[in-house]
Amino acid sequence: DADVTQTPRNRITKTGKRIMLECSQTKGHDRMYWYRQDPGLGLRLIYYSFDVKDINKGEISDGYSVSRQAQAKFSLSLESAIPNQTALYFCATSGTSGGQPDTQYFGPGTRLTVL
């Protein structure tokens, strides 16, 4: 789904480095999310935002921060990367339908390796 893009797609970095993962969407959705995926653990929510001025912590926000620069852009930062942050990271977006949350659409993912 080219409507949700993530950069970079792959990144290898060293412990202690600052990393930013970026997400852009052209779907016109207000809601954006960051998840991490680890084998056997499914998708876990890191942060989410329902509009530009709204930022909320998810299940596993420690060690991460986010910025919602515009309706279409939502960035995830690791201030000081550590090896257990090695994972596959997904951005997702959703709108609302009849006042109810709608389907979430995922970006292609960013594979991050912290050495």
Partner 1 sequence: GENVEQHPSTLSVQEGDSAVIKCTYSDSASNYFPWYKQELGKRPQLIIDIRSNVGEKKDQRIAVTLNKTAKHFSLHITETQPEDSAVYFCAAMRNQGGKLIFGQGTELSVKP
Q: Which is nearer to partner 1, 63 or 109 (CB)?
A: 109
Instruction: Kindly indicate which of the ranges 11-19, 20-28, 68-76, 106-114 contains the residues binding partner 1, using the contact rule CB under 8 A.
Output: 106-114
Q: Element (H or E) spanning 64, and its range? A: none
The Cα–Cα gap between 97 and 61 comes to 28
Query: CB of residue 102 vs partner 1: minimum separation in angstroms?
Result: 9
Q: Does residue 10 touch partner 1 according to CB under 8 A? A: no
The Cα–Cα gap between 45 and 115 comes to 23
Query: CB of residue 31 vs partner 1: minimum separation in angstroms?
Result: 7
Instruction: Kindly indicate which of the ranges 12-20, 34-42, 61-69, 79-87 contains the residues binding partner 1, using the contact rule CB under 8 A.
Output: 34-42
Query: CB of residue 65 vs partner 1: minimum separation in angstroms?
Result: 18
The Cα–Cα gap between 73 and 105 comes to 14
Integer CA distances (angstroms), 90 to 36, 97, 98, 99, 100, in order: 6, 23, 26, 25, 23
Q: Does residue 60 touch partner 1 according to CB under 8 A? A: no
Neighbouring C-beta atoms of residue 30, cutoff 10 Å: 15
**Contact footprint for partner 1 (CB under 8 A):** 1, 31, 33, 40-45, 48, 50, 58-59, 90, 94, 99-101, 103-109
